[in-house]
């Protein structure tokens, strides 16, 4: 049996077990109780709304890791060149204030010690498509781990594991190692930091900050959650409420929001600029966080930067992407005049702001009218956007507990590998939805844990 067949058989077995009404009801009750007891919510919404994890084979996951590893090599190349070459960096369309902060020395080499690629993996045709690189504040690693624990404890899992073996893919350890490795490089000595998890107090991911705080503390590391507005920078130290001295900022607040709400002279920025604290991810992650980074990788003008393996992975994994501007460019063997071509091909295209998150500002060409697409193109010419070729989203059936019975519904799903030190994969998040944006922040969809499966 091939890998796709192995996964299909495992899914059918799992769903067959849920045909036992008592087993299904007990599993649904256990999942709901776990959410309530452990605070597994995104804002006020449960993290997970289904009764099955996403399953991959060991070979599928190993292949994804290899593809991502090669792609990260290409990302490191474009970041290194961007930091050294003003002309090349212009391809990323940084704002003036971003041009300033990306030159703050973070004190360590990796441009983004902890990050996440948003991708779509099709088991049926063996393809991986990368649609975004979250190199700034990758969320979800804490959620991944607690969800895996909950899935492993479900009654249906106990029955399933009579015939199959499940291996969870934890992710928090990758974040921990990235923080400690970067802090040691920054400080020049091996010692434990005092971690400040910084974000606004009203964000829906507060529950994940608690998971991380408790995880850090369980490993002997002092950690507190703080709102940047409550921090002070005095006597060369960044101080959180209660007098907690932060030596490492685990930055979950978005850079844009930090600067827009608090200005360039706020305590966090000043402490980082002065080298008084280590901050992860650093400001220079902004370069490859930009969605224009995908265009830079695939642009024919930059092809000579990459070796044969990198070019092959870029061609296979990056959907055709360009910054929206007046130019001629290649699309495969075809040369196109970009703006007229976009106007004529909206049904195969997506428009995305160069710097936004949570699905904000994304326009799916096949869901809008010609007039709406034309207006979106005009917006894209006044504020940096990228245009990306549409991909076909994979689907899988997922069971949920609705009105006292199991309902199995096809859901679109992604896979978002967590990347440590801009180099290798440590765990993965899966999101499922009936909405093509597949974004939990945007209000559509659910998170599920990703596990490796094999028959006993």
Q: Read off the pLDDT of residues 354-399 as tens digits, 9 standing for 90 and up.
A: 987 666 789 999 999 999 999 999 999 999 999 999 999 999 999 9
Task: Give the pLDDT score at 443.
Answer: 43
Q: Has residue 39 got a pLDDT over 80?
A: yes
Q: Has residue 444 got a pLDDT over 60?
A: no
* Listed range (280-284, 328-332, 440-444) with the worst mean pLDDT: 440-444
| Beta-sheet pairing, 195-198 with 248-251 | parallel
**77 and 290 in contact (C-beta within 8 Å)?**
no
Cα–Cα distance, 244 to 216 (Å, whole number): 15
Q: Output the pTM of the full model.
A: 0.94
**451 and 169 in contact (C-beta within 8 Å)?**
yes
Task: Give the pLDDT score at 289.
Answer: 95
What does residue 352 show for φ and ψ, rounded to 5 degrees? -135, 135
Overall average pLDDT of the 392-421 stretch: 94
pLDDT band at 125 (very low <50, low <70, confident <90, very high): confident
99-123 pLDDT tens trace: 999 999 999 999 999 999 999 999 8
What does residue 67 show for φ and ψ, rounded to 5 degrees? -60, -45
Q: Has residue 442 got a pLDDT over 50?
A: no
CA angle 246, 203, 47 (to 5 degrees): 110
* 301 alpha carbon, distance to own chain's centre: 27
Q: Has residue 441 got a pLDDT over 70?
A: no
Classify 54 as helix, strand or coil: strand
Overall average pLDDT of the 36-61 stretch: 94
Buried/exposed code over 336-351 (b: 16+ C-beta within 10 A; e: otherwise): bebbebbeebbeebbb
Two structure tokens written together for 367? 């869901």
Cα–Cα distance, 121 to 394 (Å, whole number): 7
Overall average pLDDT of the 72-93 stretch: 97
Q: Which residue has the higher pLDDT, 45 or 443?
A: 45
Two structure tokens written together for 122? 């099709």
**53 and 16 in contact (C-beta within 8 Å)?**
no
Closest among 415, 442, 436 to 67, alpha carbons compared: 415
Classify 4 as helix, strand or coil: helix
Cα–Cα distance, 394 to 58 (Å, whole number): 19
Rounded to the nearest integer, the mean pLDDT of the chain is: 94
Could you state, in order of their start, the residue ranges of all structural domains in the chain? 3-289+394-455, 320-389
Overall average pLDDT of the 32-37 stretch: 95
Q: What is the CA radius of gyration of the chain?
A: 22
**10 and 55 in contact (C-beta within 8 Å)?**
yes
**E strands along 163-305, which residues?**
164-168, 195-198, 223-226, 232-234, 237-240, 244-246, 248-251, 278-280
Q: Has residue 287 got a pLDDT over 80?
A: yes
Overall average pLDDT of the 400-423 stretch: 94
Task: Give the pLDDT score at 324.
Answer: 96
Task: Give the pLDDT score at 162.
Answer: 97
Task: Give the pLDDT score at 358.
Answer: 62
Task: Give the pLDDT score at 126.
Answer: 87
Q: What is the CATH number of domain 320-389?
A: 3.30.1490
Helical pair 172-187 and 141-152, crossing angle rounded to 10 deg: 150
Two structure tokens written together for 129? 């498509």
Closest among 396, 357, 354, 349 to 374, alpha carbons compared: 349
Q: Has residue 340 got a pLDDT over 70?
A: yes
Closest among 448, 412, 438 to 48, alpha carbons compared: 448
């Amino acid at each position: 049996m091939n890998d796709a067949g192995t996964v299909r058989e495992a899914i059918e077995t799992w769903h067959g077990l849920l045909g036992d009404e008592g087993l299904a009801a007990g599993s649904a009750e256990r999942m709901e109780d776990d959410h309530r007891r452990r605070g597994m919510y995104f804002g006020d919404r449960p993290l997970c709304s289904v009764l099955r994890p996403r399953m991959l084979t060991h070979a599928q996951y190993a292949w994804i890791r290899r593809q991502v590893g090669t792609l990260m090599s290409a990302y490191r190349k474009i970041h290194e060149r961007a930091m050294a070459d003003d002309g090349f960096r212009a391809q990323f369309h940084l704002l003036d204030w971003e041009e300033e902060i990306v030159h703050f020395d973070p004190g360590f080499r990796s441009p983004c010690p902890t990050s996440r690629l948003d991708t779509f993996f099709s088991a049926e045709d063996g393809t991986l498509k990368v649609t975004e690189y979250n190199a700034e504040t990758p969320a979800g690693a804490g959620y991944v781990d607690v969800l895996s624990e909950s899935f492993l404890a479900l009654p249906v899992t106990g029955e399933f594991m009579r015939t199959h073996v499940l291996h969870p893919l934890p992710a928090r350890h990758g974040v921990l190692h990235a923080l400690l490795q970067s802090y040691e490089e920054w400080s020049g000595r091996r010692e434990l930091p005092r971690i400040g998890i910084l974000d606004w107090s009203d964000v829906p991911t507060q529950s994940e900050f608690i998971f991380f705080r408790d995880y850090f503390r369980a490993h002997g590391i002092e950690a507190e959650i703080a709102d940047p507005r409550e921090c002070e920078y005095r006597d060369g130290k960044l101080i959180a409420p209660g007098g907690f001295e932060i030596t490492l900022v685990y930055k979950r607040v978005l850079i844009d929001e930090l600067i827009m709400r608090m200005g360039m002279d706020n305590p966090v920025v000043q402490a980082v600029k002065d080298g008084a604290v280590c901050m992860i991810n650093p400001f220079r992650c902004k370069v490859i966080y930009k969605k224009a980074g995908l265009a830079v990788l695939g642009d024919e003008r930059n092809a000579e930067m990459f070796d044969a393996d990198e070019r092959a992975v870029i061609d296979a994994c990056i959907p055709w992407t360009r910054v929206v501007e007046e130019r001629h460019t290649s699309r495969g063997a075809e040369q196109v005049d970009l703006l007229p071509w976009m106007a004529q091909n909206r049904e195969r295209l997506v428009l995305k702001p160069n710097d936004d998150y949570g699905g904000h500002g994304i326009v799916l060409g096949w869901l809008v009218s010609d007039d709406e697409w034309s207006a979106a193109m005009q917006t894209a010419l006044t504020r940096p956007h990228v245009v990306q070729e549409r991909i076909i989203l994979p689907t899988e059936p997922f069971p949920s507990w609705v009105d006292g019975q199991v309902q199995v519904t096809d859901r679109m799903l992604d896979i978002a590998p967590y990347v440590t030190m801009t180099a290798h994969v440590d765990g993965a998040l899966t999101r499922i939805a009936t909405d093509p944006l597949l974004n939990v922040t945007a209000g559509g969809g659910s998170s599920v844990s990703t596990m490796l499966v094999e028959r006993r």
